[in-house]
């Protein structure tokens, strides 16, 4: 990768403490899924349209009934305040200024009320605890602070094992920089561990308890996507958690088309994992995603503060608009059917 986006991780590593950079980059176990994610998007080839007026190109999308100027959003990530003191606030402000959407981790280091005060459009990401009622105060706080949806992460019945190259980040980071939206005594309470028995009925409970639409994050299979939609999910988010959960899980570039074919007509479909450039975003849209999400790139950009995140969105937008023009697409809807099949492994 070249240009400003291409140097993002390298520049961030020069300013971040090594354990923080390592935590952002790492995958689970042998990191095979993490390592394959970026390349999988690049196996696809476009069949561009020509002789089409691409003077005015609109990269915007409608997500859960509201327009986003960007066809991507910021995926939920912890430790933003360890990456930069302004953490979630800088992320929210810069993304809001670009007309985009942030998904805030339930482990965020900034109170939801402060995130809401930025005026940014935001969704809450949640894990459900074994005792579901323990999630209720956090859901209420998020809704009161203006969260417009709740994204339930379903790929984490247990946190996968990761091997840190050096010192563990948790030994170095101030505990006050994470998980500030739980009650003070949350951690030690019986039933506070992540639920290992999540089922489709939890979507109903969550929608009613939060009073918000539910997005299910961490789906790779079309049959599971169908179960989510039947259980009332407003959107299905194809993700393998950036390769940080089940190592050797399929790449999202490979999993997305079948999920989009199964439920794309009935619910919105999002995707994350390894998206780094405007061409990657175009590929995701062409494969049936209604929006793409990025996890690590906004964190690397946040190492440069709010201006870093603003630049990330600006660079991606420029690349995406150029790609849309070159592909003969005026809108995101025009990108369907843009890919040559089959993809070219290792191309």
Ligand X SMILES: Cc1cc2nc3c(=O)[nH]c(=O)nc-3n(C[C@H](O)[C@H](O)[C@H](O)COP(=O)(O)O)c2cc1C
Residues that bind ligand X (CB under 6 A): 23-24, 37, 75-79, 105, 107, 125, 153, 217, 239, 241-242, 244, 272-275, 294-296
Cβ burial 18-32 (10 Å sphere, 16+ → b, else e): ebbbbbbbbbbbebe
Q: Which residues are annotated as a binding site for glyoxylate?
A: 23, 127, 241, 244
Q: Which residues are annotated as a binding site for FMN?
A: 105, 125, 153, 217, 239, 272-276, 295-296
Choosing from 96, 241, 254, 313, which is the catalytic residue? 241
Quote the least distance from Cβ 253 to ligand X, whole Å. Answer: 11
Quote the least distance from Cβ 49 to ligand X, whole Å. Answer: 28
Instruction: Answer yes or no: 241 catalytic.
Output: yes
Give the nearer residue to ligand X in terms of CB position, either 253 or 258. Answer: 253
Angle at 58 between CA 57 and CA 63, to 5 degrees: 160
* Mode of pairing for the β-strands spanning 101-104 and 291-294: unpaired
Q: Half-sphere exposure of 69 toward its Cβ, with a 13 Å CA cutoff?
A: 13
Q: Which residues are annotated as a binding site?
A: 23, 105, 125, 127, 153, 217, 239, 241, 244, 272-276, 295-296
Quote the least distance from Cβ 8 to ligand X, whole Å. Answer: 12
Quote the least distance from Cβ 36 to ligand X, whole Å. Answer: 11
Active centre residues (catalytic): 241
């Amino acid at each position: 990768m070249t240009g400003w986006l291409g140097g993002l991780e390298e520049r961030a590593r020069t300013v971040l403490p090594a354990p923080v950079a390592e935590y952002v980059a790492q995958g689970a176990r042998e990191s095979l899924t993490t390592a394959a994610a970026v390349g999988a998007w690049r196996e696809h080839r476009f069949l561009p349209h020509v002789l089409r007026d691409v003077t005015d190109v609109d990269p915007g999308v409608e997500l859960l009934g509201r327009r986003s100027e960007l066809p991507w959003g910021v995926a939920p990530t912890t430790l933003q305040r360890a990456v930069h003191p302004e953490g979630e606030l800088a992320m929210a402000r810069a993304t809001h200024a670009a007309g985009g959407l942030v998904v805030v981790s339930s482990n965020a280091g900034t109170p939801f009320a402060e995130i809401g005060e930025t005026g940014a459009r935001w969704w809450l990401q949640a894990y459900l605890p074994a005792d579901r009622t323990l999630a209720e105060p956090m859901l209420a706080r998020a809704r009161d602070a203006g969260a417009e949806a709740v994204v339930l992460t379903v790929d984490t019945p247990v946190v996968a094992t990761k091997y840190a190259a050096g010192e563990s980040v948790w030994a170095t980071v101030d505990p006050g920089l994470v998980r500030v939206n739980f009650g003070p005594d949350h951690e030690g309470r019986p039933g506070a561990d992540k639920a290992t028995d999540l089922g489709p009925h939890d979507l109903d409970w969550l929608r009613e308890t939060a009073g918000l639409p539910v997005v299910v994050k961490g789906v790779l299979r079309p049959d599971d996507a169908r179960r989510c939609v039947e259980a009332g999910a407003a959107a299905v988010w194809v993700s393998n958690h950036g390769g940080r959960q089940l190592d050797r899980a399929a790449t999202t570039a490979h999993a997305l088309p079948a999920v989009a074919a199964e439920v794309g007509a009935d619910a919105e479909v999002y995707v994350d994992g390894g998206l780094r450039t405007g061409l990657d975003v175009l590929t995701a849209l062409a494969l049936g995603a209604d929006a793409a999400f990025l996890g690590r790139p906004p964190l690397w950009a946040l190492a440069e503060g709010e201006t870093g995140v603003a630049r990330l969105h600006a660079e991606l937008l420029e690349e995406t608009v150029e790609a849309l023009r070159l592909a003969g697409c005026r809108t995101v809807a025009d990108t369907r059917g843009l890919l040559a099949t089959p993809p070219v492994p290792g191309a």
